[in-house]
Amino acid sequence: MPAGLDDRLRSLVTLGVLALLLLVGAAWGWSAATKPFPGAVETPVCVDTELGPGDRLFADRVVVSVLNASRREGLASRTMQLFVDAGFVAGETGNAPRGTEVAYAQVWSDTADDPAVRLVRTRLGPDAGFDRRESVGPGVTVVVGDDFEDLVDGKESVRVKRDSVVCAPPE
């Protein structure tokens, strides 16, 4: 075989291999670019966390949701910010169900001696009420009325008296 023909054949084979690599790379790139993004994983605001007698529950492990039962617009959001500034974890804010009458503040929970409820109530003061009913949002539900202005200096933590389950932010 003449030398010139051998060089041309080698160049042709090299170009063919490079073209094949280009096509394989383009096909892989196209399939990667058109693949759907993985779905967003929703992390819960809080998860049930077991506590035992003698444990301490701190504000940063308590999720608070605030509902507005007043005629003052934005009171739930302002109150939520007060709780966050005090170290609590934000749950949800919104308006209380129609017909809800709360003058100052009220905690809604199915358990009055829940350690999270006890800690939140120390920040609301002695005028805050308690209503035994299911929480509306995640964590402890606080309903504020027209007379509510500000949180009071309350406890930083409470001691757990008996086995309890609180809705705490995921670690």
Q: Considering the entire predicted model, what is its pTM?
A: 0.74
Interval 8-51: pLDDT, tens: 888 888 888 888 999 999 889 888 888 887 777 778 888 899 99
**pLDDT of amino acid 92:** 94
Residue 157 has pLDDT above 70, yes or no: yes
Q: Residue range 152-161: average pLDDT?
A: 94
What is the Cα–Cα distance from 38 to 52, expressed in whole angstroms? 39
Interval 84-142: pLDDT, tens: 999 999 999 999 999 999 999 999 998 888 999 999 999 999 989 988 887 788 999 99
Question: From the centroid of its chain, how far is CA 37?
Answer: 22
Question: Where are the domains positioned within the chain?
Answer: 1-35, 47-168
